Chain A
Amino acid sequence: MRRTRLRLSDLLIYLVLGIMALIVVAPIFLMLMTSLKGNLQFMKQPLALPDGIHLEGYISVFTEHNFLRYVGNSLFVTLISLSVSLVFSVLLAYALSRYRGKWVTRLYFYFLMGMIIPIRLGVLFLNDLLNRMGLLDSLWGLVCIYTAMSIPFAMFILTGYIKMVPAEIDESATIDGCGTGRIITHIILPLIRPAIATVAIYNFMPIWNDVYFPLVFIFDQSKKTFMLHVTMFFGQYSKDYNLIFSALSFAALVSLIFYAFGSKQLIKGLTAGALKG
């Protein structure tokens, strides 16, 4: 649609979008402002801009409260779960898109189910299972859960993409003496790189942001994930607004910065592949 001049209806649309953007941005802006404000000013003028830059909260978060240690725990869990689930899902998606038959379709739906079933409904048996495996109160226990949780979406997106790669390419590679492993690593992987990026960004968020499983399965203070640490931190220091909002801002900024870098790929992948089987 090409437009030569701004019409009244367009102005109204901008007005609606602008108000909505304000509603979305204002709370985040308020959080960042509060994190830079001294507690005294916060009590007196909760909505005003900070009268000076108070970084005490941020400094305390990193020095006294050791946030980076928990960021490390979360990175460990997130990166391992993401990598393992990606490797497993690429193999799975390759099989599901190159083989035919009733069992292939059944398997596809078996995995697809996991996209909408909340894994937390099985938390009581998981508790038992991890306990027996000696993985209760262990970051590796979380890795198992998050890997399983990430497979369905990865399978869904990757199967759709691999199907678009013509099977004739694999066939000629086979004639040239390539095995399945080489076909996947040398032919398929380079072609589906954008899909892998979409999956990695999409699956990163629920793992990084999860509080539920750490809350239920992690007891040892030193093994807390970052979000669990922020949750407990909030309960402890909820009256020290400068400190608490420094912690919240830092946690939110990590996600938002990650999103700022990945959003283009994510949105492209989601809006393109959302309904393709």
Chain B
Amino acid sequence: MKRSRSSFLALVAPAFVVYTAFMLVPLIASLGLSFYEWSGYGAKNFVGARNFLRLFSDANYSTRFWNALGNNTYFFVITMLIQNVTALVLAVLLERGLKGSNLFRTIFFAPSTISVVIVGYLWLLIYNPIWGALNKVLGLIGINMKNFAWLGNEGTALTAVAVANAWQYIGIPMMLFISGINTIPEEQYEAVSVDGGGEWHKFCYVTLPNLKPILFIVSTMTFVGNFSSFEIIYAMEGTLGAPNYATDTLGTFFYRTAFGARTGSPPEMGMGAAIAAVMTLIIGVGVVAWLRFNAAGRDD
């Protein structure tokens, strides 16, 4: 059957225009804005690479920048360990065909459907040093943490936020792991059984190697998600990443710099754009890796 080029274009055009105009163009054009200085209103002054120089060397910005980058990295590592490892364990346990597995799966996924800010506020209550459920429950099992402020202590704040975040999103990697386990042929497990291997062997020699692609997708998604996170920190620790910037990440640093007027300091859109450009570069690594992976999958 002959298909005309013009009808192809007509079918693609609406989605192409909206997606390009409101997603791809803003992404690229925002990079260009990092070479200007302006407050969001009035004229833009071209300043070359000055915003980047200031970001990396002016102590007012560089201290915050490196701190935020470090916090983002820590947030990512903790999420990988807490959220994704637990998700993998749950997926393996749920795929053993036990009764009630579907119900458990539905429960574990439920928090990911609630808004991030709601989850943030809910955990704010749980971590409350005086009324919070966490300290009460710890007290009941004999660990005395009375009046300890998990979110107010520089040593524990970021981990506490990461735990709340992991609590919410555990269901998403779990679901991806489940879909991966579903595609593993039963014969591979039988082969291990024949050789006398136990459950642990099955996990190490069949499940884990087969899940490599999913592990890759989950890690990329976690990476991109964590390096662009904002709301959970905004809800639990404010735009300043309290206490004393212990939970300040690139997302909150960017928001403060670009839209400063709403947090007291003047907006510096150019500097904000420079921070966003660095974020885009970091996240871009993840996006490219993910795309290459998808391209490889399509050639099969």
Contacts and interface: CB of A to CB of B under 8 A. Distances in A.
23 contacts: A9-B199, A14-B98, A17-B94, A30-B133, A42-B131, A87-B14, A92-B14, A99-B8, A105-B298, A109-B295, A116-B220, A117-B27, A122-B23, A124-B276, A125-B33, A148-B22, A151-B19, A170-B1, A209-B116, A251-B118, A258-B113, A267-B106, A275-B213
Contacts of A128: 29, 33
Contacts of B106: 263, 267
Contacts, number: 260
B145 interface: no
B231 interface: yes
Given A46-B136, A91-B15, A248 B122 contact: yes
B23 to A, nearest CB: 5
B94 to A, nearest CB: 7
B175 A1 contact: no
B33 A124 contact: yes
Interface string B56-94: 000000000000000000000000000000100110011
Contact of B280 (A107, A121, A211, A227): A121
Interface string A236-263: 0000010011001001100110110001
B292 to A, nearest CB: 10
Interface residues of B, number: 95
Contacts of B280: 121
A236 B107 CA distance: 32
Contact of A46 (B28, B110, B131): B131
Contact of A148 (B8, B18, B132, B175): B18
B276 A275 contact: no
Interface stretch (A18-26, A56-64, A65-73, A191-199): A18-26
Contacts of B86: 20
A43 B125 CA distance: 12
Contacts of A42: 131
Interface string A135-151: 00000000011011101
A17 B95 CA distance: 12
Interface in B93-114: 93-94, 96-98, 100, 104-114
Given A20-B108, A231-B235, A123 B113 contact: no
Contacts of B14: 87-88, 91-92
B25 A21 contact: no
B18 A117 contact: no
B21 interface: yes
A98 interface: yes
B18 A144 contact: yes
B220 to A, nearest CB: 7
Contacts of B176: 274
Interface string A17-57: 10011011111101100100000001100110000000000
Given A122-B27, A124-B30, A13 B96 contact: yes
B27 A121 contact: yes
Given A89-B15, A129-B26, A277 B298 contact: yes
